[in-house]
Structure 1
Amino acid sequence: MPEHDLNRLPTTVVPSHYDLELIPDLDAATFTGTEAVTVVVAEATDTLILHALDLEISEAWLQQDDVRIEATPSFDTPSETVTLTLSTPAEPGSWTLHTSFTGELNDKLVGFYRSTFVDDAGVTQTLACTQFESTHARRSFPCWDEPAFKATFAIRLVVDDGLFAVSNAMETAVDELPDGRRRVHFAPTMHMSTYLVAFIIGPLEASETVDVDGVPLRVIAPPGKADLTPFALDVGAFSLHFLAEWYGIPYPGDKLDLIAIPDFAFGAMENLGCVTFRETALLLDQDHSTQAELQRVADVVAHEIAHMWFGDLVTMGWWNGIWLNEAFATFMEMLTTDAYRPEWERWTDFGLARSAAFDTDSLTTTRPIEYEVVTAADAEGMFDVLTYEKGASVVRMLQQYLGEDRFQAGIRHYLDTHKFSNTETTDLWDAIEHATGEPVRQIMDSWIFRPGHPVIGIERSADGTSLTVTQDRFSFQPDAAAGVELPTEEPRSVPVVLRLGHGDETSLHRLLLTEHQATVEVEHVPDWIVGNHEGNGFYRVELADAELATLAASALEVASPLERYGLVEDEWALILAGRGSVAGFLNLARSLANEEDLSVWQRTIGALGSLSRTAGDDNEASFEGWVRALLGPALQRLGDTRVPGEPERTTALRASLFDALARTGNDTSRREQAAAHFAALGENPAAVDADLADAVVRVVASTANADTWEELRRRAAAARTAQDTLRHQGALADTDDTSLVLRFCELCLTDEIRAQDALFLLRRALANRHASAEVWTFLTERWEQITTQFPSSTVPRLIEGIRGITDRKLATQVVEFLEANPPKQGATLVRQHIERMWVTVALADRVPAELGAALG
C-alpha cells in the first residue's frame, strides 16, 4: 500500500455525488449495500484511498463510459481506510466508482446501528439508525468521510413491508419488490458532508405534516407516542420560520423531519432534513412536564434547526472548526427559545450553562475553544462544555459588543458568501469585520485560540473620579497534590462594559481592555459599580470588599437578574480560587434573601449545596439551620402550591426552594410534606404540579429505605415518558443508603437501564456524597466491563462524578487508578475532572474553619 497521511485523505480523487442503496436485515443485525460514486480524478492514479471501517467489500470497479477498471480492496484499520488498487491506472477526468459491501448493525450507537424498544403489546421492536458525526459514516458505506469532501447523496432503502423509512430528502418513489419488500427512493440532497447523511428504518409513526413557509415538517416517533409530539411540532415550526427570517436565507432542504430514537448517544444530531433526537429531547407530555423539561425540548429543537444553515449549509473545513458549528448553534438556540417563550427569560437562565463553562475554564487543564485536531479521537474530544457553552458565551459577548443588527448583518454575509462550501473560523470574523468595520479578529482570536478567561479588577481612585480596571488570568486554587501551575500570559482583548450608579441615574462605560491595566474617567462619583453589564462579558469580576458590600446592599433594586446572578457566581468562584471568604458569600446570600428570580436562586442554592458537602461534621447542624433561616421565608412567600396563571419560572422556583430546604436544610416538615406528596403521586400523577413532583422524587429518594427505593424503581419501569423514567431511575442513585446505591450500580450494567443513560446515571451515583468511595470501588472492579460495554466517548462523562470528592485519600486512589487505566478517549477531559476534584479537596480543607467562624 502506498504511504499516505493516516489522518487525512489525499485529494487526487474527489467525490461529487453518491448513488447509495442500503438493505438492512433487522433480525440478523446486518446490512448489504451498493454505491455508485461520481468522482473526479485530478491526476493519473492506480489507487483510490477512501474511508471504510467494519465493512467487507465484495466487488469494486471504476467505470468511465464503456471502460471498466477492476479494483482490489486492501483495508488499513489504524487509519480506517481502504485502498482500492486498480488493475490499470485511471486517467484524469470524471469516473464512477462502484462498490458492493456488507456490514453489521452494531450496538455501539455509532455508524449504522440498531435500537430497540418494547411496544404497548410487550413485544421488542428493532430500528436501524444512523449516527455519523464525527467520523462514523465510514461504518455504513465506503466514503470520503471528511467534512471538506462535500457531495450530493441520492439514497435508496430496501425495507420490509410495514416498516417506516426516512432519510435526508423527500421520498420520491416506492418500488414494490417481488419478495414483499419495498425500495424507497429519496430525492438527491444538497451538497453536504458525509457526517450529515442519515437514514432510519423501523416501526415508526409520523405526526401530522405542518407546512412552514412551504417546507413540510413532521415529528416521527415510535408507535403509540403521537400525543407526545405536539410540543416539538409547535417549537419546530416556530424555529424553522424564525431562523429562516433571521438568517435571511430560505431553509436549504426540501423537508424537515424530527425523529425520536429510543437509543441515542447524544442529545440530538443535525442531519440535514432528518434530525435525530433521544426521546427526552423531543417527546414529552406537556401537562406533566417541568418547566426545565419543556425548555430543554425547545432548546434542542431550536439548536438542531439552527444547524441547518450554520453547519450544514456552511460547514467547517476540518474538525478543528467544530466549535464554531456548536457554539453558534447554542447561541442561536438561546436567541430562538427566547423569542419563542420570552417569559422563560432564556438569556438569564443561560447563566447556569455559562457557570459550567466558567468552572472548567478556571482550571489549568482547560483548553482553547479551537485547537489542532489530528485524529478522529481528537474530534470526539471537541464535544464538551467549552465548545458549546464557552463558545456560545463569547459569541454572545461579541454580539452585545457590536450590537445585534450589525452582528446579524455579519452572519448573513458569512452564510451567503460561503453557502454549500467549507470555511475556517477566520472566514466568520472576516465577514463580520466586512459588515461592521470593527477589529473582530483581534478581539476574538484571544478568546478562541487561548485557554482560560480573565478576572477584571475594579478599584476607584481616592477622590472617586476615576476607576482603575485590571485584567489577570483567573484560576481556581488547586490542591498542591494536583501538581499544576498557572502560566503567566499576555493580556487579551476584553470588551468590558461597566455600569455605574449615581443617585437616580446610571451610566455605561465601554472599554476594550487590551493591556493589563487601564483608567476610566467618570463624571460623577459612583454610588455602586456593576463590572459586567447584563453579564455579557465572559470574565469574572473582583470587587473590593467595600464595593461588594455597597452593591450587594442595593442589588435587588439596581442590578438586573443577570447581574445579580453574576455577583453570586463570581463570589463563589473567588472562594474556590482562595481569593474570597465564606463569610462574605454568606453575607451576599443574606442580602439577596428577598430575591425572586429562579436563576439567581438556583446559583445560590448550588453554592450552598457545595458548602454543605464540605462543611464538616461539627458545622452540619448549624449550617442546616442557617439554610432553613434563609430559604424558609422565601418559600413561604410563594406558598405551597401553584397559583393559577403564575409564571412557569415561579413554579420552578417553588420546587427548587422546596428541594433545597428539605435536603440541604434538612427541614423535617418539608421532608414529611414530600413523603405525603410522593404517596399521593402514586395514586394520581397530577396530585401536584410537575416541577414540585420532580423535587418530591429527589427529596424522598435522598433518605429512601429499601421499600421506597423499590417503589421508585417500579415507577421508573411503569413511566410512559422518557423524562419520567429518568426522573425515577436517577433518584435511585441519590439515597444515603450505600447498599442501595450499589444495587443501582449493578442495575446500570443490565438491560433495565438503557446503554445511552447508564454511564450518566453511574456518574450521579459516584457524585453521591454518602457513597462515593464505595461506588468508586465498584467502578474499578467493573472497569473492563464498563469500558467495553458502553461507547468509549461516554466513559469520560462517567468520570466527571469525581469532581465532588472531598476525601484526600480517595482522591489519591482515583488518580492512581486512572493513571494505570486511562480511558480510550477524552484524555483532556479526564485531566480536567482530576484537577477539579483536587480543587474540591482543597476547599474541603478550608471551609470547616471558615464556615464555623462565620456561623459563630
Structure 2
Amino acid sequence: MATMSVLTRDEAQTRAQLLDVHHYTVALDLTGGDDTFDSVTVIRFTVRAGQDVTDTFVELKPADLRSATLDGQPLDPHSLTENRLPLKSLTPGEHELRVDATMRYSRTGEGMHRFTDPTDGETYVYTQLFMEDVQRVFAAFDQPDLKAVFELTVTAPQGWTVLANGMTEHTGDGVWKAAPTPPISTYLVAVAAGPWHSVRTEHRGLPFGIHCRRSLAPHLDADAEEILDITRACFDRYHEKFDEPYPFDSYDQAFVPEFNAGAMENPGLVTFRDEFVYRSAVTDTERQTRAMVIAHEMAHMWFGDLVTLRWWDDIWLNESFAEYMGYQTTAEATRFTGTWTDFGVARKSWGYDADQRPSTHPLAPE
C-alpha cells in the first residue's frame, strides 16, 4: 500500500490562512461488498479575499478516484499524488469541490473498520478518523482547525441501523440521513452502522442511547442501567461545571468490536472498545474504570469537540484535561468515590516511568 504524505504544521497554517471551509455533504454507500464502499463528497469553501490566485490541495486515500470537479470543471484523477489532490489557480471567493471515489474498508481500525461477528455472522462497520484517517473515508481538508458543518447520508443493508454525530432518520430503501452537525473538526466525524442492539432513553430533553453488537445484547442489558445512570449523572455534573450547555443534539455511546483504542470522543457518538461490555463477573475497580472512561469522553464534548486544538502539539492538554475531569467527575457524581486512589496506584506511575526514559521531551515541542 502506498504511503501518505504527512501534513506538516507549516502546511496546515498556510492552508488555514487561505481557506474558510463551510460545509461538507457526504454520501456513503455501504452496500457494495466486503472490501470497498462508495464515497461522494461535496465541499463548499471560500478562498479569503486579498489572496493572489493560488494553489492548495485536499486529502483523499481512495481505492479508486472515479471523478473530481472544482466549480463544475473536471479535475484529472491522475493528478492525485499519494493522498493529495491538487486544487490549482484558486481565486478569492466561494468554491465547490465534488469528489466521487471508491474507498477500502479497514481491518485494523483506521478509517472505516469492518467486522463480521463469528458468533452469528452479523457485520458491523464504524469509523475511527483520529488523527488523519478521515481521508480513508471521504475527501477533506484534513486538519483540526478547519472546522465545518457535516451533513451525512448513508446507504446501508436492510436491517441495519446507522448512528452518526447527529440524530439519524431512516428515509427508506436503506438510506439514513443524519442531522447536520455544528462546526466540528474532520477527525471527529463518526458513523457506526450495523444490526446494533440498542437501549435508548431520554435525559434533559435529549435522546441518549447505548449500542453493541447483537451477540453481546444480554451482557449490555445486564449493565444498561448502571451505564445510563453514570452517563446521566456525569452529564448533569458537567452542566454544573460549565456555563455552556451540551452543544450537540443527542448522546450515543457505541461499544464497537476490534477497536484499536480505549474510546474516542466523537461528538454525539462516542465509541468504546466492546470489552467494556463485561461478559462475566468483574471487580468494582473494573466498573470504576469504565465509569471514568465514560466521564473522560464526555468531558471532551466541551473541551476537544466544542473547543478544539488548533494543531496536534496541544493534544497533551486535550487529553490531560479530559483525564483530570474524568477522575474528578466520576468521584463527584457517581458511587465510585475512590477514583483518585486508583489514579495514584495505576496511572501516576505511567508518568514517573515515562519521565525517566531518554526519550523524554517537552509536552509541546516546537
- Counterpart for residue 210 of structure 1: 202
- Counterpart for residue 242 of structure 2: 247
* 1:191 counterpart = 2:183: yes
Q: How does 1:668-747 map to 2 (within 5 A)?
A: none
Q: How does 1:119-130 map to 2 (within 5 A)?
A: 119=119, 123-130=120-127
- Counterpart for residue 756 of structure 1: none
* 1:57 counterpart = 2:53: no
Q: Secondary structure at the match of 2:302?
A: coil
Q: CA deviation at 1:25?
A: 3.2
Amino acid at match of 2:29: I
- Counterpart for residue 175 of structure 1: 171
Distance 1:106 1:96 in 2: 29
Q: How does 1:9-24 map to 2 (within 5 A)?
A: 9=12, 10-11=14-15, 12-24=18-30
Larger Cα-atom Rg: 1
- Counterpart for residue 82 of structure 1: 85
Answer yes or no: is the 8 Å Cα contact 1:115–1:262 preserved in 2.
Answer: yes
In the alignment, structure 2 segments of 5+ residues that lack a partner are none
Q: CA deviation at 1:90?
A: 4.3
Q: How does 1:443-592 map to 2 (within 5 A)?
A: none
TM-score (norm 1): 0.39
Answer yes or no: is the 8 Å Cα contact 2:62–2:104 preserved in 1.
Answer: yes
Q: How does 1:392-471 map to 2 (within 5 A)?
A: none
Q: Secondary structure at the match of 2:85?
A: strand
Answer yes or no: is the 8 Å Cα contact 2:330–2:336 preserved in 1.
Answer: no
CA separation of 1:114 and 1:340: change in aligned 2, threshold 3 A: same
Answer yes or no: is the 8 Å Cα contact 1:253–1:273 preserved in 2.
Answer: yes
CA separation of 1:134 and 1:333: change in aligned 2, threshold 3 A: same
Distance 1:108 1:14 in 2: 33
Q: Secondary structure at the match of 2:286?
A: helix
Distance 1:231 1:350 in 2: 22
Q: Secondary structure at the match of 1:229?
A: helix
* 1:71 counterpart = 2:75: yes
Answer yes or no: is the 8 Å Cα contact 1:229–1:284 preserved in 2.
Answer: no
How many residues matched?
Answer: 349
Which of 274, 284, 308 in structure 1 is aligned with 2:278? 284
- Counterpart for residue 113 of structure 1: 113
Amino acid at match of 1:176: G
Q: CA deviation at 1:347?
A: 1.6
- Counterpart for residue 159 of structure 2: 162
- Counterpart for residue 46 of structure 2: 40
Answer yes or no: is the 8 Å Cα contact 2:200–2:209 preserved in 1.
Answer: yes
Q: Secondary structure at the match of 1:241?
A: helix
- Counterpart for residue 261 of structure 1: 256
Distance 1:288 1:253 in 2: 35
Amino acid at match of 1:166: L
Q: CA deviation at 1:62?
A: 2.2
Answer yes or no: is the 8 Å Cα contact 2:230–2:334 preserved in 1.
Answer: no
Distance 2:110 2:300 in 1: 20
CA separation of 1:44 and 1:187: change in aligned 2, threshold 3 A: farther
Answer yes or no: is the 8 Å Cα contact 1:50–1:82 preserved in 2.
Answer: yes
Q: CA deviation at 1:263?
A: 1.0
Q: Secondary structure at the match of 2:171?
A: strand
Q: CA deviation at 1:165?
A: 0.5
Amino acid at match of 1:361: D
Q: CA deviation at 1:323?
A: 0.6
* 1:149 counterpart = 2:125: no
Answer yes or no: is the 8 Å Cα contact 1:31–1:105 preserved in 2.
Answer: yes
CA separation of 1:170 and 1:243: change in aligned 2, threshold 3 A: same
CA separation of 1:331 and 1:5: change in aligned 2, threshold 3 A: closer
* 1:28 counterpart = 2:34: yes
Q: Percent identity?
A: 31
Distance 2:131 2:117 in 1: 26
- Counterpart for residue 132 of structure 1: 129
Amino acid at match of 1:175: T
Answer yes or no: is the 8 Å Cα contact 2:65–2:102 preserved in 1.
Answer: yes
Answer yes or no: is the 8 Å Cα contact 1:115–1:126 preserved in 2.
Answer: yes
Q: How does 1:355-374 map to 2 (within 5 A)?
A: 355-372=349-366
Q: Secondary structure at the match of 2:170?
A: strand
Amino acid at match of 2:144: P
Q: CA deviation at 1:37?
A: 0.9
Amino acid at match of 1:327: S
* 1:272 counterpart = 2:267: yes
Answer yes or no: is the 8 Å Cα contact 2:61–2:103 preserved in 1.
Answer: no
Q: How does 1:718-797 map to 2 (within 5 A)?
A: none
Q: CA deviation at 1:161?
A: 1.1
Amino acid at match of 1:337: T
Q: Secondary structure at the match of 1:150?
A: coil
Distance 1:304 1:159 in 2: 27
Q: Secondary structure at the match of 2:64?
A: strand
Amino acid at match of 1:18: Y
Amino acid at match of 1:76: T
CA separation of 1:138 and 1:48: change in aligned 2, threshold 3 A: same
CA deviation profile, 1:701-728 (whole Å, cap 9, x unmatched): xxxxxxxxxxxxxxxxxxxxxxxxxxxx
Q: Secondary structure at the match of 2:361?
A: coil
CA separation of 1:26 and 1:334: change in aligned 2, threshold 3 A: farther
Distance 2:185 2:226 in 1: 30
Q: Secondary structure at the match of 1:337?
A: helix
* 1:96 counterpart = 2:96: yes
- Counterpart for residue 313 of structure 2: 320
CA separation of 1:215 and 1:323: change in aligned 2, threshold 3 A: same
Answer yes or no: is the 8 Å Cα contact 1:106–1:114 preserved in 2.
Answer: yes
Distance 1:234 1:22 in 2: 34
Q: CA deviation at 1:206?
A: 1.2
Distance 1:291 1:6 in 2: 43
CA separation of 1:45 and 1:247: change in aligned 2, threshold 3 A: same
- Counterpart for residue 340 of structure 1: 333
The two structures, once aligned, show a CA RMSD in angstroms of 2.1
CA deviation profile, 1:278-320 (whole Å, cap 9, x unmatched): 0123x236x8221121011101100000000000000110000
Distance 1:342 1:209 in 2: 21
* 1:293 counterpart = 2:286: yes
- Counterpart for residue 299 of structure 2: 306
Answer yes or no: is the 8 Å Cα contact 1:115–1:261 preserved in 2.
Answer: no
Distance 2:19 2:246 in 1: 31
Amino acid at match of 1:162: G
Answer yes or no: is the 8 Å Cα contact 1:303–1:330 preserved in 2.
Answer: yes
Answer yes or no: is the 8 Å Cα contact 2:145–2:311 preserved in 1.
Answer: yes
Q: Secondary structure at the match of 2:326?
A: helix
CA separation of 1:277 and 1:343: change in aligned 2, threshold 3 A: closer
- Counterpart for residue 803 of structure 1: none
Q: Secondary structure at the match of 2:40?
A: strand
TM-score (norm 2): 0.89
